[in-house]
Structure 1
Amino acid sequence: MHAILLLAHGTPDTLGEMKAYLDLVTSGRGVPDHVVEELQHRYAEIGLRDTPGEEPPPLTRWTLKQADLLRQKISYPVYVGMRNWKPMIAAAVEQMKADGITSARVICLAPQNSRTSIGLYKRDLMKALGEDPFMQVEFVEGWHDHPKLIEALSDRLLHTRVPADRVPHSSSEAKMSEKQAILFTAHSVPCSTIQGETPDPYAQEAKHTAALVAEKAGIPEWFFAFQSQGASRGPWLGPTVEDTLKALKEMGYEEVVLHVIGFVCDHVEILYDIDISFQQYAKEIGLKISRPESLNDHPLLIEALAELATR
Structure 2
Amino acid sequence: MPKQAVLLLAHGTPETVDDIPEYLRNVVSGRPLPEHVIEEIKHRYSLIGRSPLTDITLEQGKLVEAELAMEGIDAQVYVGMRNWKPYIPDVVRKMRADGVEEAAVLCLAPQNSRTSVGLYKRAVQAEAGALKIDFTEGWAYDPLLADAFAERLRAAEEKLTSELGSPVPVLFTAHSVPCRTIQTPAANEGQPRHWPGEGVDPYAQEAKHTAELVAARVSGIPKWWFAFQSQGASGGPWIGPTVEDTLTSIAAEGVKTLLLQPIGFLCDHVEILYDVDIAFKEYAKSLAIQLERPESLNTSLTLARSVASLAIRGLRRLQENEPPLA
State the distance in 2 between where 1:105 and 1:220 align. 40
Q: TM-score, normalised by structure 2?
A: 0.86
- 2:265 maps to which residue? 263
State the distance in 1 between where 2:14 and 2:276 align. 20
Aligned-partner SS, 1:232:
coil
- 2:297 maps to which residue? 295
Q: AA paired with 2:141?
A: D
Aligned-partner SS, 1:73:
helix
Contact 1:3 1:77 in 2 (8 A): yes
- 1:153 maps to which residue? 149
The Cα of 1:161 is off from its aligned counterpart by 1.2
1:189 equivalent in alignment to 2:177: yes
- 1:217 maps to which residue? 218
1:195-234 correspondence to structure 2 within 5 Å: 195-197=183-185, 198-218=199-219, 219=221, 221-234=223-236
State the distance in 1 between where 2:269 and 2:159 align. 27
Aligned-partner SS, 1:34:
helix
State the distance in 2 between where 1:214 and 1:155 align. 11
Contact 1:59 1:267 in 2 (8 A): yes
State the distance in 1 between where 2:288 and 2:44 align. 24
| Cα offsets for 1:143-187 (capped at 9, x unmatched) | 1111111111011001001489x8x89xx734xx3xx32100000
The Cα of 1:117 is off from its aligned counterpart by 2.2
Contact 1:214 1:220 in 2 (8 A): no
- 1:245 maps to which residue? 247
Contact 2:113 2:203 in 1 (8 A): yes
Q: AA paired with 1:107?
A: L
Q: TM-score, normalised by structure 1?
A: 0.90
Aligned-partner SS, 1:226:
strand
- 2:196 maps to which residue? none
Q: AA paired with 1:299?
A: L
State the distance in 1 between where 2:115 and 2:45 align. 22
State the distance in 2 between where 1:101 and 1:298 align. 28
State the distance in 1 between where 2:11 and 2:204 align. 19
| Cα offsets for 1:219-240 (capped at 9, x unmatched) | 3631000000002221111111
Structure 1: gaps spanning 5 or more residues: 49-56
- 2:321 maps to which residue? none
Contact 2:258 2:292 in 1 (8 A): yes
Match of 2:54 among 51, 60, 67: 60
| Cα offsets for 1:182-215 (capped at 9, x unmatched) | 1000000001000123200000000000001111
Aligned-partner SS, 1:159:
helix
Aligned-partner SS, 1:303:
helix
The farther-off stretch of 154-163 and 133-142 is: 154-163
- 2:194 maps to which residue? none
1:1-311 correspondence to structure 2 within 5 Å: 1-48=3-50, 57-74=51-68, 75-129=74-128, 133-162=129-158, 173-174=165-166, 177=167, 180-197=168-185, 198-218=199-219, 219=221, 221-311=223-313
Structure 1: 4+ residue segments shifted above 3 A: none
- Of all paired residues, the percent bearing the same amino acid is 53
Contact 1:22 1:30 in 2 (8 A): no
Q: AA paired with 2:180?
A: S
Contact 2:169 2:222 in 1 (8 A): no
State the distance in 1 between where 2:31 and 2:7 align. 28
Structure 2: gaps spanning 5 or more residues: 69-73, 186-198, 314-326
| Cα offsets for 1:60-81 (capped at 9, x unmatched) | 0110000011111212011111
- 2:192 maps to which residue? none
The farther-off stretch of 138-147 and 120-129 is: 120-129
